[in-house]
Structure 1
Amino acid sequence: MILENNINKVLEYKDDTSYVTSLYLRLGPDERNDFQYKRTLKNLIKESKKNYSYLESDIENYKSIEKDLAMIENHINDSKNIEGIRGIAIFSCSSNDFWEVFNLPLVNKDRLFFNNYPHIGELMTLNDKYGNTVFLVVDKHKARFFNLTLDGVKELSGFLYPGASRTHKFKPQDGKFKQRVSSSSGDRMMSQGYGEYSFNRTIENDVQQHLKYVSDRIFEYSKDNKIDWLILGGSDDVVQDLSNHIHSYLKPKLLGNIKLDIDTIKTDKLFDLSLNFLDDLRYRNNCKLLEEFEEKLSSGLAVNGIEDCLNSLYNGQARTLLINEGFAQPGFICPKSKLLALDNNEKSCPENQAPNPIQDIVDYIIEEAFSQKCEVDIIYDSQLKKKIDGMGAILRFRL
């Protein structure tokens, strides 16, 4: 709810006379190595000055942007502000006392914008795609249920099967007879009291009832709450048993399993573990999308290269945009219509005015894709990058 309220604040922000600074910064393990993210931010700020230098005559907006950048840098340089996250989005307009920070599980691309509106497309997409991950940790008698959202980690109660509270150690009574009972391993016979055998069968039944109860509770929860992904934790045998109980509706949402001790887990570790699963998911998605891209390229339902991708966006054809990590290219933006162009040509703008130069048109293409509800996937793997010329698109239809 906090996240939704903050997103709504950004969506509702309107002031055509002032400029909003929008930052997306990756903070994964690679970016944190040797404080690479700090150098990335400094470079973004240095390069971005070319994008708002024309505002020097507009003293109020120019000073507001300068203050935004100083506040953003101070916030990120304080390590306490970025603990346990792999990405951050910040929206600031100092002249209007507007400041919103979103700690994120991932960010597609390091980007910095100055515009009359906040660039919120990627934030909305991340919230829709990864907004609610459920982490269920179980043993034979207990279950802990964690809800992981962009707001953080919250543990929910009510996932203990009532029968699980009975004793789990057999206490024989004097005078009870014994009989030989076949073991499940074959012909080998074991001597076991009839009462003990019956007791153990009862306990095993309780375990299965416990797991079924937990599975049913998760399914009931999913009816009223969106679950994007489900992760199971516990010992291998218990997790395997639990997966057999999971409702078929939730099975496609299973991200994976991991061995965990229910009594010693820490919530901050759960968030980090879930991010590892999401990183793996992103790689698998990249592989599937590039396979589809290659298949459709020959039939005209995919295009390769930035010019064809931009045209497909303006024709409303693009369904999925694929962009190599690190791909950048200068370009132009029309002063009034905000149309994007690769060449400095007045004919590119319907207002018949020369377009303004922008340092990296790729960032603006991504925002245009988000505004059209297109999926945007950044390709990080070096081998996968070779399959596209910087940028490619899978189309909805041909023209």
Structure 2
Amino acid sequence: MRDLKRILDNLTSFQPDGSPVVSLYLRLMPEDRVDRRYLKTFKDIVKAHRQSIEERFGSQQVEEDLRKIENFLSELENMKGSRGVAIFSSSKRDLWEVVHLPYVYRNRLMVSYVPLIREIAAIDEELGRVGVLLIDRKHVRFFLMDMVETVEMLDFLEPLATRSHRFHSGGALLKGAEGAMRYSIPSRGTPAYASAHAYGEYRFHMRIREEKHRLFKLANDALMEAWKESKFDKLVIGSERDDIREIENHLHTYLLERLVGYINVNVSTASPHEVREKVLDLLWQKDREEEAHLVKKLEDLVGKGLAVNGTSLVLQQLYMGNVKTLLVPEDFQKAGYFCPKSHIPVLNPECPMEDEKPYSLPDIVDEVIELALEERATVEIIVDPHLQKKIDGLAAFLRFSI
């Protein structure tokens, strides 16, 4: 996290002097890594934007930066441990920064006079801190995950399941809570010739049940202490237990409100990298499930004047700062223009300021996303092809009705 802070401090303190800065956001999902498809994607983006870049900056201004980025992407070692990457390069200013990300909105290549870092800030805010509780029959582990790293904070076994005192905030998370499982077995009081098999089996199952609920209660207490210290925004629970969802009966309301879902994982052997990958898979799936709700909400709000469906309508609302959430079909592209003084994308070569000459763009969606982020709007990417057809280019939820 310290490295990210240093990088962002460097990028935010960058003072423009007329030298171009290349900003690249590139997807590195598992399907993009097959045969290094991401490298071909980058080359295709460069090819599509080359004419626009030359029109604005000249033919040689950013060639060195593009070659440097391509060389970096060609090294497999540089692509490890992330599902997206942001690269900022300006050879004339000796600027080179790389940020590995859990995801990116879509592949974007932009050339400006400053590094375009708003997407990084938006992703950091969206993901927040994720608390990950792993629990099986005798083992409890807790991880904290953010945009940059996944760190194990807590690890204990069943002997801690019975505690002689309450946890108190301020100390180490479960230190001093050692105890042992103790059970009081009543005397049978039955004749020596009587069978006590059924009673013994009942006591055995009650013991297992007591162990489970005691462990779930202990896990809740540990989570509350972790939440007090770290204030994580989301909670994910991992286990191979069939009854793991019963833990919800023990979770505090604050924790239930943050519960996103469950992952299947071997608690004893799970590494921070495996935990991170499974959590990102879960969050990705949750986003895909949310798409249908977003499109349905769009259809409902359009009739109430609280949403618009159509690229030109979205641009009009963006110019007024009235976009709350921007909906972008993953594969949508639209040629247009960019006004360099007004800093707005337009569909026609007409800018609002006098003597302002727009330059052409092969795809204005990249700049539309940047403008939406500048206005503190959220961005939702629609991946489902069927749902994409219900959006006429771009769509948006509005801050106030029209």
Tell me the TM-score range normalised by the shorter chain: 0.7 to 0.9
* 1:337–1:351 Cα contact (<8 Å) kept: no
Alpha-carbon shift at residue 168 of structure 1 (Å): 6.2
- Aligned residue number for residue 18 of structure 1: 19
Q: How does 1:73-112 map to 2 (within 5 A)?
A: 73-112=70-109
Q: Is structure 2 residue 401 aligned with structure 1 residue 398?
A: yes
Alpha-carbon shift at residue 34 of structure 1 (Å): 3.4
For structure 2, which runs of at least 5 residues remain unmatched after alignment? 163-177, 191-195
Letter in 2 for 1:162: L
Within 2, Cα distance between the matches of 1:220 and 1:163? 16
- Aligned residue number for residue 37 of structure 1: 38
* 1:339–1:349 Cα contact (<8 Å) kept: no
Deviates more, 1:77-86 or 1:378-387: 77-86
Q: How does 1:147-158 map to 2 (within 5 A)?
A: 147-157=144-154
Q: Is structure 2 residue 200 aligned with structure 1 residue 192?
A: yes
Within 1, Cα distance between the matches of 2:353 and 2:323? 22
Q: Percent identity?
A: 32
Q: How does 1:53-92 map to 2 (within 5 A)?
A: 53-54=54-55, 62=61, 65-92=62-89
Q: How does 1:299-378 map to 2 (within 5 A)?
A: 299-345=304-350, 348-378=351-381
Alpha-carbon shift at residue 159 of structure 1 (Å): 5.7
Q: Secondary structure at the match of 2:325?
A: strand
* 2:130–2:233 Cα contact (<8 Å) kept: yes
Deviates more, 1:359-368 or 1:259-268: 259-268
Alpha-carbon shift at residue 354 of structure 1 (Å): 2.5
* 1:178–1:192 Cα contact (<8 Å) kept: no
Alpha-carbon shift at residue 370 of structure 1 (Å): 0.2
Deviations 1:365-389 (A, max 9, x none): 1100000011111111011101111
Letter in 2 for 1:236: R
Q: Is structure 2 residue 29 aligned with structure 1 residue 28?
A: yes
Q: TM-score, normalised by structure 2?
A: 0.86
Deviations 1:119-166 (A, max 9, x none): 112111111011322221112332111122221221112666734565
Within 2, Cα distance between the matches of 1:129 and 1:258? 20
- Aligned residue number for residue 184 of structure 1: none
Alpha-carbon shift at residue 221 of structure 1 (Å): 2.2
Letter in 2 for 1:390: G
Deviates more, 1:20-29 or 1:265-274: 265-274
- Aligned residue number for residue 129 of structure 2: 132
Q: How does 1:172-251 map to 2 (within 5 A)?
A: 178-179=188-189, 190-192=198-200, 197=203, 205=210, 207-237=212-242, 239-251=244-256
* 1:179–1:191 Cα contact (<8 Å) kept: no
Sort the Cα spacing of 1:202 and 1:46 in 2 relative to 1 into closer, same or farther, 3 A: same
* 2:137–2:241 Cα contact (<8 Å) kept: no
Deviations 1:173-227 (A, max 9, x none): xxx95346xxxxxxx961439xx94x98677545433322321222232234242
* 1:140–1:238 Cα contact (<8 Å) kept: no
Letter in 2 for 1:45: V
Within 2, Cα distance between the matches of 1:261 and 1:377? 32
- Aligned residue number for residue 390 of structure 2: 387
* 2:161–2:218 Cα contact (<8 Å) kept: no
- Aligned residue number for residue 165 of structure 2: none
Q: Secondary structure at the match of 2:328?
A: strand
Deviates more, 1:74-83 or 1:301-310: 74-83
How many pairs were matched up? 380
Letter in 2 for 1:16: D
Alpha-carbon shift at residue 170 of structure 1 (Å): 8.6
- Aligned residue number for residue 171 of structure 2: none
Alpha-carbon shift at residue 336 of structure 1 (Å): 2.0
Within 1, Cα distance between the matches of 2:59 and 2:81? 39
* RMSD after superposition: 2.8
Within 2, Cα distance between the matches of 1:110 and 1:149? 22
Q: Secondary structure at the match of 1:236?
A: coil
Which of the numbers 111, 117, 120 marks the counterpart of 1:120? Answer: 117
Within 2, Cα distance between the matches of 1:207 and 1:143? 12
Within 2, Cα distance between the matches of 1:191 and 1:300? 68
Alpha-carbon shift at residue 290 of structure 1 (Å): 1.0
Within 2, Cα distance between the matches of 1:158 and 1:266? 12
Alpha-carbon shift at residue 76 of structure 1 (Å): 1.6
* 1:323–1:379 Cα contact (<8 Å) kept: yes
Deviates more, 1:103-112 or 1:202-211: 202-211
Q: How does 1:265-284 map to 2 (within 5 A)?
A: 265-284=270-289
Deviates more, 1:309-318 or 1:70-79: 70-79
Letter in 2 for 1:71: K
- Aligned residue number for residue 162 of structure 1: 160
* 1:168–1:203 Cα contact (<8 Å) kept: no
- Aligned residue number for residue 185 of structure 1: none
Deviates more, 1:283-292 or 1:150-159: 150-159
Within 1, Cα distance between the matches of 2:401 and 2:187? 80
Q: Secondary structure at the match of 1:250?
A: helix
Which of the numbers 124, 143, 148 marks the counterpart of 1:146? Answer: 143
